[in-house]
Amino acid sequence: MTVDQQPRGISITTPSEREIRFERVFNAPRDVVWQAFTDPSLISEWWGGGAQVEHMDVRVGGSWKFLGGHMPDGSKFVFQGEYLEVEPPRRLVQTYENGWMGGMTWRETMEFEDLGQQTRFIQTSAFDTAEQRDTVLPTVEQGAHFTFSRLDSVLARLTQPSK
């Protein structure tokens, strides 16, 4: 099967009892997909249904913090982490603290494989325990489908020829 024939959906697997692996081919060159993941001005267009970027310093030792939906007390969910590896436009490794899930934290490794006018995106989320993974799995499955469909729209806009 060629890349163009692959389904547009996301593949979500559990390669070990403590990991979740996402794989998705995007119809955009790798540099554009990398930009969508690392440019704060683009994050709010697709990430988590309109997250607000409080800060985003994409460098080793830098951190990120996004504000999401509202909690019962009116405050916003906080999602945050630290960048552990930054290898533009090939690889990004970060911690991910999910304020919506009581501050549960895990490690995400994102790889961007150059397929010419497309990019294979592979994300592996590694958890401390199988229980943590199993707690997160149903939510991230739903969120990934929603979020990546929004990302498709952003990538389509970014790759449209200039008029």
> How many domains are there within the chain?
1
Residue 41 lies inside a defined structural domain of this protein: yes
CA distances (Å), 98 to each of 27, 42, 93, in order?
29, 20, 16
Q: What is the mean pLDDT of each run of 10 residues along the chain (163 residues)?
A: 47 95 97 97 84 95 88 75 98 91 89 97 97 90 85 94 69
pLDDT for res 142: 79
Considering the entire predicted model, what is its pTM?
0.89
pLDDT for res 95: 98
- Nearest partner of 158 among 72, 63, 42, 70, judged by Cα: 42
Range of the domain at 34: 25-158
Residue 47 lies inside a defined structural domain of this protein: yes
CATH code (residue 47): 3.30.530.20
pLDDT for res 153: 93
